[in-house]
């Protein structure tokens, strides 16, 4: 049963009833919704037991509702990789601090586990289950293994074997390696059920560009802006995209492809950098030498001093959260100033949800006026705006490759918008007409019985 993230990218959470055991994978917060709709639909379980709670990775849309789930299931052990546990300390604090901006007092009053004093209890409940290791739970009947899933540091795909059934839950995954994070590893096929993400299930022109070409284009754009005495704003997610972009820009400076100008990064992103540096030998990393702390960075000023930032006077590169310019974040505020300067550039480097300010800004035409978020007035678009794709998710061909390698009888599509899911579902059926494909509705049971 999908409790969230069924036919959208949101409060991802999936419940499996396997051999009499209840297994919950992930509990995320929806980044856009407010009120209880932003949380997984735990009530749909109607008291079904949760014996094991597994977290795939530390992004908020997979982790943010873990304290919420613990309110209904306080004693359940929570398994995650050591990297994810370390990242959770930062990410859960961030979720807790953002809740008051998104929710009414009535909702907040019903969330005692998000009090800063209560958060450590959730962290203490987390048990390491590391990449490349397995654990037999529930009296020897259910075996759970964590596979590196690419995507971000410590991210796992989860393989469940029980009662002759084999289920693989991809989590967020990418087969291609990124700069710091390696590509996914998969168990041996054939399996019975594949539950896969489908973020990039629809053909996207940007994704046909190679990463190398995109990087070249980005470096060229930054160089052109700096030459005109302008600064470059790159909205990034503090977890994952920041470390990847920072390292690639650091490479380019070292290779003499970019001049050495100040590179600004923000507080939470820097704490996450430290975790990336702490886990140099993690199985999810491409190498054990690249430290983000080796790249010289200037500290992004706090909100109230942002507009006094030196980057408005001297050419700089600013890596600011969030990637989708969500209201209240540094990139949201900076964009309002950036847009007014014709010699400045905003470079988008990832997916932007159509409901976010990032989407409006990334699709704005120079010479027009736009308004986003809760802005009271239009702002003129004078700056240059460019879009790049450095996806941390599997491309469409990679998703099909996962299906080809695992040879499941059933494919369950999750974590994609309806367009992506139906396009990818059709692609699977064209290639493997014998497979069954479903896209689960939140709160409905789907049964997969019988053997191969
Ligand atoms: Zn993710």
243 in the same domain as 359: yes
Percent of the chain with pLDDT over 90: 81
Structural Rg of the chain based on CA atoms: 22
> Is residue 445 in a domain?
no
Let me know: does 35 contact 62? Beta carbons within 8 Å: no
Ligand 1: centre distance to CA 57 (Å): 7
Q: In this structure, what token pair is assigned to residue 415? A: 């974590």
User: Residue 55 sits in which domain range?
Assistant: 2-203+393-438
Ligand 1: centre distance to CA 99 (Å): 19
What is the average per-residue pLDDT within 198-210? 73
Rounded distance between C-alpha atoms, residue 296 and residue 264, angstroms: 9
Domain end point (choices 351, 366, 387): 387
Please provide the average confidence, as pLDDT, over all residues in the chain.
93
Whether residue 273 has pLDDT greater than 60: yes
> Is residue 452 in a domain?
no
Handedness of CA 298, 211, 337, 261 (dihedral sign): positive
108 in the same domain as 76: yes
- Backbone angles phi and psi of 369, in degrees to 5: -125, 140
What is the CATH number for 367? 3.40.50.10890
**Interstrand relation of 232-235 and 436-438 (parallel, antiparallel or unpaired):** unpaired
Whether residue 35 has pLDDT greater than 50: yes
169 in the same domain as 28: yes
Ligand 1: centre distance to CA 227 (Å): 35
184 in the same domain as 154: yes
> Is residue 325 in a domain?
yes
> Is residue 174 in a domain?
yes
369 in the same domain as 419: no
What is the average per-residue pLDDT within 94-100? 92
CA neighbours within 13 Å on the CB side: how many for 448?
Answer: 26
pLDDT tens, residue by residue, 350-375: 888 888 999 999 999 999 999 999 99
* pLDDT (0 to 100) of residue 452: 38
Rounded distance between C-alpha atoms, residue 23 and residue 7, angstroms: 20
198 in the same domain as 63: yes
Per the structure, the count of domains in the chain is 2
* pLDDT (0 to 100) of residue 318: 98
User: Residues with Cβ within 5 Å of ion ligand 1?
Assistant: 59, 172
pLDDT tens, residue by residue, 109-163: 999 999 999 999 999 999 999 999 988 886 678 999 999 999 999 999 999 998 8
Let me know: does 89 contact 122? Beta carbons within 8 Å: no
Quote the distance between the C-alpha of residue 87 and its chain's center: 13
Ligand 1: centre distance to CA 242 (Å): 13
Rounded distance between C-alpha atoms, residue 448 and residue 329, angstroms: 43
217 in the same domain as 178: no
What is the CATH number for 22? 3.60.15.10
Q: In this structure, what token pair is assigned to residue 66? A: 């873990």
Ligand 1: centre distance to CA 172 (Å): 5
> Is residue 290 in a domain?
yes
199 in the same domain as 220: no
* pLDDT (0 to 100) of residue 450: 53
Q: In this structure, what token pair is assigned to residue 252? A: 């380019």
Ligand 1: centre distance to CA 326 (Å): 17
38 in the same domain as 153: yes
Let me know: does 286 contact 233? Beta carbons within 8 Å: no
pTM of this structure: 0.94
Ligand 1: centre distance to CA 386 (Å): 23
The DSSP-derived string for 166-198 is EEEE--S--SS--SSBPPP----S--SEEEEE-
**Helix, strand or coil, per DSSP, at residue 288:** coil
Ligand 1: centre distance to CA 158 (Å): 14
What is the average per-residue pLDDT within 90-100? 94
What is the average per-residue pLDDT within 388-414? 94
Nearest to 382 by CA among 416, 356, 343: 343
Domain end point (choices 363, 387, 411): 387
pLDDT band for 83, please (50, 70, 90 cuts).
very high
Whether residue 6 has pLDDT greater than 80: no
- How many CB atoms lie under 10 A from the CB of residue 294? 11
17 in the same domain as 107: yes
pLDDT band for 387, please (50, 70, 90 cuts).
very high
pLDDT tens, residue by residue, 37-75: 999 999 999 989 999 999 999 999 999 999 999 999 999
pLDDT band for 451, please (50, 70, 90 cuts).
very low
229 in the same domain as 177: no
226 in the same domain as 149: no
> Is residue 247 in a domain?
yes
pLDDT tens, residue by residue, 309-349: 899 999 999 999 999 998 889 999 999 999 999 999 999 99
Ligand 1: centre distance to CA 273 (Å): 17
pLDDT tens, residue by residue, 441-450: 999 999 987 5
Domain end point (choices 360, 387, 414): 387
Helix and strand tally (H, E) in the chain?
Answer: 12, 21
């Amino acid at each position: 049963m999908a409790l969230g993230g069924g036919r959208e990218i949101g409060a991802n959470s999936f419940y499996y009833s396997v051999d009499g055991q209840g297994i919950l994978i992930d509990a995320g917060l929806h980044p856009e919704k407010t009120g209880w709709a932003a949380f997984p639909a735990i009530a749909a379980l109607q008291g079904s037991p949760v014996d094991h709670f597994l977290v795939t990775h530390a992004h908020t849309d997979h982790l943010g509702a873990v304290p919420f789930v613990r309110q209904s299931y306080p004693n359940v052990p929570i398994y995650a990789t050591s990297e994810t546990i370390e990242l959770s300390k930062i990410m859960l604090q961030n979720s807790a601090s953002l809740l008051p901006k998104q929710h009414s007092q009535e909702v907040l009053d019903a969330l005692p586990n998000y009090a800063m004093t209560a958060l450590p209890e959730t962290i203490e409940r987390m048990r390491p289950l590391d990449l490349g290791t397995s654990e037999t739970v529930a009296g020897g009947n259910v075996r759970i293994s964590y596979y590196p899933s690419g995507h971000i540091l410590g991210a796992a795909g989860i393989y469940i074997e029980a009662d002759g059934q084999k289920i693989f839950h991809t989590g967020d995954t990418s087969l291609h390696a990124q700069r710091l994070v390696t590509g996914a590893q998969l168990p041996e096929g054939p399996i019975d059920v594949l539950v896969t993400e489908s973020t990039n299930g629809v053909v996207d022109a940007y994704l046909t560009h190679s990463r190398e070409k995109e990087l070249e284009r980005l470096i060229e754009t930054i160089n052109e802006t700096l030459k005109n005495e302008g600064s470059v704003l790159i909205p990034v997610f503090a977890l994952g995209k920041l470390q990847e972009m920072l390292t690639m820009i650091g490479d380019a400076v070292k290779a003499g492809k970019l001049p050495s100008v100040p590179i600004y990064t923000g507080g939470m992103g820097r704490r996450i950098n430290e975790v990336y540096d702490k886990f140099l030998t993690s199985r999810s990393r491409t190498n054990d030498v690249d430290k983000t702390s080796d790249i010289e960075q200037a500290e992004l000023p706090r909100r109230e001093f942002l507009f006094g930032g030196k980057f408005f006077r001297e050419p700089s590169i600013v890596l600011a959260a969030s990637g989708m310019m969500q209201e209240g974040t540094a990139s949201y505020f900076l964009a309002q100033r950036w847009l007014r300067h014709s010699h400045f550039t905003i470079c988008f480097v990832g997916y932007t949800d159509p409901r976010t300010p990032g989407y409006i800004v990334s699709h704005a035409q120079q010479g027009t006026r736009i308004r986003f978020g809760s802005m009271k007035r239009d702002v003129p678009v004078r700056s240059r705006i460019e879009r790049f794709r450095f996806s941390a998710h599997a491309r469409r061909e990679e998703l099909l490759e996962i299906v080809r390698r695992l040879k499941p009888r059933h494919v369950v599509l999750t974590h994609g918008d309806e367009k992506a899911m139906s396009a990818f579902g059709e692609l699977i059926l064209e290639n493997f007409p014998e497979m069954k494909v479903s896209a689960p509705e939140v709160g409905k049971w789907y049964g997969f019985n019988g053997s191969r």
